[in-house]
Amino acid sequence: MSLPPKKGKIQGVKRQLILDLQTFLWRFEQGGYSRDSMHEVLEFLEKALESEAHEIGGAIEEHISKMITDCHAYAEGKGNPKDVVRDLDQLRQDLEK
């Protein structure tokens, strides 16, 4: 069993997650919140967030997994883009605490 990452490293990972979420939201906005734009930026989101979330673990990792699932659902024709944006922005705010 490995030791949890040091506090400074976690803060760095959180900062990177916040930047990645901001980038994703900006790209999604530039695409008009369309399903096509979700498809285009979802791969970026998955790659960036899954590895960083794994470093933090716990509730943040679970929250990010749910967000990715919600983004996939929207990209496949389900869900509401406002809900996706609201949830992603809430995650960003939680990380900033």
Give the tens place of pLDDT for each residue, 22-34: 888 888 888 887 8
The per-residue pLDDT for range 41-91, each reduced to its tens digit, is: 788 778 777 777 777 777 777 777 778 888 888 888 888 787 778 777 778
Selected residue with higher pLDDT from 50 and 39: 39
For residue 5, what pLDDT band results from cuts at 50, 70 and 90? low
For residue 1, what pLDDT band results from cuts at 50, 70 and 90? very low
Regarding pTM above 0.95, the answer is: no
Hey, where are the domains in the chain?
A: 7-96
Burial pattern 66-81, b for ≥16 Cβ within 10 A else e, equals: ebbebbeebbeeebeb
Asked whether residue 4 carries a pLDDT value surpassing 60, the answer given is no
Encoding tokens for residue 32?
């008009």
